[in-house]
Amino acid sequence: MDRAFLDVYFKMEREHWWFQVREGIILDQFRKWIFKSQPLKILNVGAATGRSSEILQPFGDVQSIEYDEPSYTFCRENLQMKIDQGSITELPYADASFDAVCAFDVVEHVEDHAAAVANLFRVCKPGGKIFVTVPAFMSLWSNHDVVNHHFRRYTQQQLLELFEAHGGQLKRSTYFNFFLFMPIYGVRSLQKILKKKNTDELKPDNEMIESGFINSIFHAIFSFERKLLKKINFPFGVSLLLIWEKKG
């Protein structure tokens, strides 16, 4: 991540409507499917500017790891976070080290995603949980994916196949950001038709932070969906989550 963008991204992770509600969804699912009562040993892969690690701290001892050097340095020096620098495909931890292994919007950044998932399984304890989120559907591919260095977006079946190869048991899988799927699909489809060449995806995201009106509308829609996700699965969405139990 460009060092000049770190301060912007730090603010986005804490104030942008999408990050705020995704955070709530992650916490809801973590409480329901992973955390019982005892503190856990947790690995958070891909800490970015640290917010995902911060929200996991009430559940136990959180070890973070980040591949991007500026992000790693930012978390270590500015947040005094317990963090290592390293790749998801070569995690520097012993086998079966963690009760829970998390990778929130990380796997899509890795060309060899099979090796990435294999490493998540390797460091997870038998009976432990692996929790990932990824962007969904290649039909939504846009400049946003390009500038964020994504290799792909996923269908639920594609993600399940990566995990089924290692055995164990599915605990929860669902698409999310369901209600905003069609507007986002429409906008991105129109951009492709018009062959819009906008490589600066950072600017509109940052404007959403500053616009309280836009932030509040999308926040309200996504928050309503968060409530429904506690009870139902969605058949499609902009994103996808999966919680998997490693074979014990």
**Percent of the chain beyond pLDDT 70?**
92
Poorest-pLDDT segment among 40-44, 142-146, 189-193: 189-193
* Biggest CA-to-CA distance, the chain: 54
Give, as one character, the DSSP assignment of residue 122.
H
What pLDDT score was predicted for residue 193? Answer: 84
Poorest-pLDDT segment among 5-19, 71-85, 99-113, 127-141: 5-19
Mean pLDDT of the region 157-164: 98
* Residue 39 backbone zone (phi > 0: left; psi -120 to 50: alpha; other: beta): beta
pTM: 0.93
Q: Are residues 98 and 123 in contact, defined by beta-carbon separation less than 8 angstroms?
A: yes
Tokens of residue 117, six digits: 């998932």
Q: Quick check: helix, strand or coil at residue 86?
A: coil
Mean pLDDT, rounded, of the chain: 92
What pLDDT score was predicted for residue 212? Answer: 78
State pLDDT tens for residues 87-102.
999 999 999 999 999 9
In 131-198, which ranges are continuous DSSP H helix?
143-147, 156-164, 181-193
Position 196 pLDDT exceeds 80? no
Tokens 């079966």 appear where?
Answer: 96
Pairing verdict, β 169-176 and 239-245 = antiparallel
State pLDDT tens for residues 17-72.
999 999 999 999 999 999 999 999 999 999 999 999 999 999 999 999 999 999 99
Give, as one character, the DSSP assignment of residue 136.
B
Total tally of structural domains belonging to the chain = 1
Mean pLDDT of the region 121-135: 98
Position 140 pLDDT exceeds 90? yes
Tokens 């973070």 appear where?
Answer: 64
Poorest-pLDDT segment among 33-42, 191-200, 210-219: 191-200
CATH number at residue 54: 3.40.50.150
Q: Cα(109)–Cα(96) distance, rounded to whole angstroms?
A: 24
What pLDDT score was predicted for residue 197? Answer: 53
What pLDDT score was predicted for residue 147? Answer: 85
What pLDDT score was predicted for residue 195? Answer: 67
Q: 190 lies in which domain range?
A: 3-245
Confidence of residue 205 (pLDDT cuts 50, 70, 90): very low
Q: How many CA atoms lie within 13 A of 170 on its CB side?
A: 14
Nearest to 50 by CA among 82, 5, 20: 82
CA angle 123, 124, 127 (to 5 degrees): 155
